[in-house]
Amino acid sequence: MGRINLYIIIGLSLLFSRCGKESYDEHSKHATHPQDEASQKALSISAEPTNRKVISSQALVKPVAQLQSGPVNAYGFISLDERRSNQVSARIGGRIEKLYVKYENQLVRKGDKILDLYSPDLNTYQEELLYAHKVDPEGELPKQAAHKLKLLGITDGQIKQIIESGKASLTLSIYSVYDGYIFYSPSTQISPTGSAMASSSGGSKMGGGMGSGSQQKQPALSSMTSTSGPIREGAYVSSGQTLFWINDLREVWGILSVDNLHQDEIAVYDSVTLVSELIPDKPFETVVQYIEPQYATGQKFIQVRAYLPNADRNLRINSLLEATIRPKAKASLTLPATSILYLGGRQAVWKKVGQTEEGTHILEIRFVRLGPVSQGRVTVLNGLEADDEVARDAGYLMDRESLVKPE
């Protein structure tokens, strides 16, 4: 009996001991310890992003105004002067019987035959002329009928030939009214919308001129497009449809690509020296005529245009150029190169915004836009004023100084 009581006592002791341990473990699991909270808070603070302000006793510098007048180098190419591109359009609808212009860039002279056009409408106007001349040769009707034909590009010589022959012709030969080269777009800044003209056989029964020209007086932007589509033998053209353009290339554009760092320096009428790869021993002296208001597609440079004479046509379209632009001297703010902090694709300085009670500077990050670098100094285009103060050694503050807590 005594032995049994002993076993019962031992069993109860083990049971109470186990329950106490489980209760303690459960309590420990949910308990909050001040020391652990402090550690977690410290870890959280250290993971926060750094502030934009620092305190430092580092020497400060002010921007210095300096005259910037150094040359700007650029590269480019020769392009059409769109103002000299003369539009050749069909003055009457019809079918192209024969093409005499076989490819783009082909040279044509004034008076060269371009194409033969079959036009029933033209035949109708000729019949009106013949009938009016028959019934009232000295009256107003023949004059009115002749005027209609002149509006279609028919010359006085052609009208006289129609009257003398007494027959209307169904085919009209179109002649060039300009000297120059054939283009399917008025500008080489874009891909031509027209295709090369084909050629085949055919006949002409009447000579005359039908090209209508319109010269563009303003510089066209690179978005200009041609209204003409592919023309070929057998194709129909409508009245007013652009067939192609003729440009004599006696004056051309030099299109220059300038780094955007210099976009605030260059102005219209700044002097330019251009050297062509085709005639490197003959530099051209000219001026900036036009600065395009947008970047080239997918690029970070501006396009500058300079006008070039090309009477002997030695400058060929798309040939390369080297240029030296000489901007007029301008006063610009500059800083030592060491004051600039480069943060990826952006630039910044540590600008003084206040001071502590002990007299230590409080500096804050300010982003700036920079220009060219010369003799250890950087041009500041915007982001600072002349009386601002900034840290002399910006990179030093990233590693050595204390961060000011956010307010």
- Residue 140 is predicted with a pLDDT of 86
Interval 254-259 mean pLDDT = 92
The tokens for 144 are 């009115």
Quote the pLDDT of residue 42: 42
How many C-beta atoms surround the C-beta of residue 97 within 10 A? Answer: 21
Tell me the per-residue pLDDT of 382-401, one tens digit each, with 9 for 90 and over.
888 888 999 998 877 765 44
Query: Does pLDDT of 166 surpass 60?
Result: yes
User: Does domain 53-67+331-403 match CATH 1.10.3720.10?
Assistant: no
pLDDT band at 253; cut points 50, 70, 90: very high
Q: In the numeric block, which tokens belong to residue 42?
A: 């410290």
What percent of the chain is predicted at pLDDT more than 90?
Answer: 23
Q: What is the mean pLDDT of residues 314-343?
A: 88
Give residues with Cβ within 8 angstroms of 329, minimum separation 6.
Answer: 67, 68, 69
Residue among 72, 62, 63 nearest 331 (CA): 63
Which residue ranges make up each domain of the chain?
A: 53-67+331-403, 72-81+249-329, 87-247
| Residue-wise burial string across 263-290, b where 16 or more C-beta atoms lie within 10 A, e elsewhere | ebbbeeebebebbbeeeeeeebebebbb
pLDDT tens by residue, 112-152: 888 888 888 888 888 888 888 888 888 888 888 888 888 87
Indicate the pTM of the whole model. 0.56
Residue 353: pLDDT over 80: yes
Q: For the structural domain made of 72-81+249-329, what CATH number should be given?
A: 2.40.30.170
Task: Output the average pLDDT for the chain.
Answer: 76
Backbone angles phi, psi at 187, to 5 degrees: -135, 140
Identify the three-state secondary structure at position 386: coil
In the sheet with 171-175, reading across from the earlier edge strand, the strands are 171-175, 113-118, 94-99, 236-237
Per the model's pLDDT, the better-predicted residue between 330 and 370 turns out to be 370
Dist CA 126 CA 149 (whole Å): 8
pLDDT value of residue 407: 43
As a whole number, mean pLDDT of residues 218-241 equals 61
